Amino acid sequence: MYKVVITLFCCLVFTAAAQAQVLTGADRTEGYLPLLRGKRVALLVNQTAMIGHTHLVDSLLKLHVHIQKIFSPEHGFRGNADAGEKVGNSTDPSTGLTIVSLYGRHRKADAADLQDVDILLFDIQDVGTRFYTYISSLQEFMESAAENNKPLIVLDRPNPNGHYVDGPVLEDTSLRSFVGMQAIPIVHGMTVGEYAYMLNGEKWLKNGVECKLTVIPCKGYDDHTFYQLPVKPSPNLPNMAAIYLYPSTCLFEGTVLSLGRGTDLPFQVFGHPSFPKDLYKFTPRSTPGAKEPPLKNVTCYGYNLTGTPEAVRAEMDNKLQLKWLLQAYDLYPEKENFFTPFFNKLAGNTTLQRQIKQGLSEAEIRDTWEPALTQFKTIRKKYLLYAE
């Protein structure tokens, strides 16, 4: 018992020390302030763009940087809108700055948005999956920068799921959408800075345009660093357990099950009213960030996967876990109604759904992800900034 306690204590001390040594791109102001001096600046940011305990916008204003406007991604500038909720333009009450929403009818900054801007800056905390839409916003922001001849600075941040690469690669171009714009696996293992270099280098931006890109990298970080996110990246990823589980449990978004939106454990539980009544019980409610969750006010039965961040990260075993999805499909009585049309967009193919229906094992399914996964890893190596 004492050995376990000592080991755990040492682990916590080590991870706390590692956390303290990490400097994000935003922290490294000496690398980008000279590029902003005398320029009219537009930022694509949300609530995660922090320098210590101060928002990047407030920090830059105090440093007399001329901020012309703010662009906001999914969930809005303050990060409190529901997933998929369309957010309109607004004014930031604390600074009086114009906020232009890039999630809704107007998803891409155009010439009118940028005519009074000299330079663009991107700073948003990502979680390292293809279907987390911040990298889609990054791509379209890079395209806007290139098309309007504006330089772009990306302030890099650690990827909490950067320690592995896994999942099917999106190869079916008909399934490309805002939850999957490029031929990358579900877990890509890159920071936004590395991914920006890949978008440029592989000519993946629309019409092959190239963005005038500067990445301010993190310091004291590599892709195996345990990094505790200081601010939740979106309303339904409230803790590190949810962030580690998200690459696997997000696939439930393409089924008729609840994955805990509207509870205290989003992306950490899954279930359905038809499952056995002796399983873990939860009831989704209308909550901030999940106003109309699936199966609202209906008691669901299923599984609670949460735990300490260290335990959940170990449970993931450096790979995308299909076991929970296969288990749920096996339990669900009306299998023909289990999947929704959204599932194939999340998976990036029509194959995974068919394989599950055919009863293939997780090992058999994983085998089919090659050689596309190996090919992606080869391309990825060219753009890595933090690999050991």
Please check whether residue 285 is in contact with residue 262, taking contact to mean a CB–CB distance below 8 angstroms.
yes
Residues 233, 125: Cα–Cα separation, whole Å = 6
Let me know: does 57 contact 95? Beta carbons within 8 Å: yes
- Residue ranges in the chain whose pLDDT is less than 70: 1-20, 79-87, 388
Cα distance between residue 226 and residue 13, in whole Å: 12
Q: Where are the alpha helices (DSSP H) in the chain?
A: 2-21, 33-36, 56-62, 111-114, 134-147, 192-201, 240-249, 309-316, 323-331, 342-347, 351-358, 362-367, 372-380
Q: How far apart are alpha carbons 181 and 308 in whole angstroms?
A: 33
- Does the predicted TM-score (pTM) go above 0.85? yes
Residue 379, Cβ neighbours under 10 Å: how many? 13
Quote the pLDDT of residue 387.
81
Nearest-angstrom CA–CA distance, 258 and 271: 6
Q: What is the pLDDT of residue 9?
A: 33
The pLDDT value recorded for residue 92 is 87
Following CA atoms 301, 250, 325, 344 in sequence, which dihedral angle do they give, to the nearest 10 degrees?
A: 130
Amino acid identity, residue 145?
A
- Separation of alpha carbons 288 and 286, rounded Å: 7
